Amino acid sequence: MPTKIYDNQNKKDKTLTAQQRVDAGQIPQYAENGIFHTPISAQSVHFKACPDEYIIQNEGAYIVLGKDRPDTCASGYGAMGSNRANSIDLVVGRMSNAKKGEGPPGQEDGNAFVDNSMFADAARVLISQLTDVDKHFGLAAGFTGPSIARASVAAKADTIRLIGREGVNIVTGEALDPDGYGLTGETNSMGGKIMVRAPQINLIAGNHTGTYITYGGIYHPLETIRNLQPAVRGELLRDALLEITDCMEDIFATIVVMQIAGIIHNMINGFLFPFTSWPASLGNAASYAANLLEWGLNTQYQARVNLNFIQFNYMNVAGYKYICSRNVNIT
């Protein structure tokens, strides 16, 4: 039942949702007992079990041993009769966010009977031998595409923490030299070959992998940008920036040389003009042009060639130092 409190300021009853009670510093509860971890035997929400499920339950915490079942007994590979869709479903807080956190209808008198809900149950860890995990949890698939009919582990809650005191590794792909697989290597859970040597890792914040349109300036008034993009490899980006910096230094040096040569040319012409004829000035101009070719244009050409190599090696997907990761994508 929603908790009613008396608002002294407005002189009226005010009904709060479970989230509002938490924000107000209160404890959301559905029973008047349970203080100091004393048992709450009367549960207001009951789970509708399927015939093949073995359930371990304590109050509102469940361990369900059965087969793939995202919703009712008519859902999942378990409903199709598969004997390779075994699952372990750890669930707490069934239908906890229904009705803005007040729970499902009928719980007031203890007559709420519910199925699995990947969206309304409070927290879940699902271990399944065969399931469509992206479809069941409503997940954006990323560049790898949706996971269909695969062994999967899924964890869902308001917040999730992975804590490693000496590190956390997220690894994709087959094991190194697994026993019993010989030269062919480790297979997937169905005995199939793992086709991709380094399967992708997608870090998707916001569960959105589409595109968005933004203003790009005068010359590109509207730009369409992908939300999910390859991560940048730090050391290769560092190398690219260092090489670009070297090219810029060559260009700046060329500009300085050209300015100095121009100043010398003008000074000599200004000094010789009253005393010499036009052939002397022409010779000085020829010397100036030779200096520009040797110190200026040649250096500029080399810098341009280097920039073209940088563009191919670092910015092109075929480059040997391509700065974007081919295996890790982020939003």
As beta bridge partners, residue 150 has: 131
Count of structural domains, the chain: 2
Q: Is the dihedral of CA 33, 39, 43, 45 positive or negative?
A: positive
Q: Which of 146, 175, 196 is the last residue of a domain?
A: 196
Q: Which structural domain, as residue segments, surrounds residue 242?
A: 234-330
DSSP 8-state secondary structure symbol assigned to residue 121: S
Contacts of 105 (CB under 8 A, 6+ apart): 99, 112
Residues 192 and 323 in one domain: no
Residues 70 and 140 in one domain: yes
The pLDDT of residue 136: 96
The pLDDT of residue 43: 73
Q: Which of 150, 175, 196 is the last residue of a domain?
A: 196
Residues 66 and 137 in one domain: yes
In a domain, 22, yes or no: no
Residues 100 and 178 in one domain: yes
Q: Which of 196, 221, 254 is the last residue of a domain?
A: 196
Residues 53 and 127 in one domain: yes
Mean pLDDT of each 10-residue bin along the chain, 331 residues long: 40 59 71 66 84 94 97 96 96 89 78 93 96 96 91 96 94 84 80 86 92 83 90 94 90 76 65 56 60 68 87 93 94 92
Residues 49 and 191 in one domain: yes
In a domain, 295, yes or no: yes
96-102 contacts at long range (C-beta below 8 A, 24 or more positions apart): 96/18, 96/120, 96/121, 96/122, 97/122, 100/17, 100/18, 100/19, 101/17, 101/18, 101/19, 101/28, 102/1, 102/2, 102/17, 102/18
In a domain, 39, yes or no: no
Residues 313 and 185 in one domain: no
In a domain, 32, yes or no: no
| Cα angle for residues 295, 296, 298 (degrees, 5° grid) | 80
In a domain, 255, yes or no: yes
Residues 173 and 271 in one domain: no
Residues 55 and 178 in one domain: yes
Phi-psi region of 119 (alpha: psi -120 to 50; beta: other; left: phi over 0): alpha
In a domain, 144, yes or no: yes
Tokens 């090696």 label which residue?
313
In a domain, 214, yes or no: no
Q: Are 227 and 210 in contact (CB under 8 A)?
A: yes
The pLDDT of residue 236: 95
Residues 253 and 192 in one domain: no
Q: Any idea how long the chain is?
A: 331
Residues 62 and 183 in one domain: yes
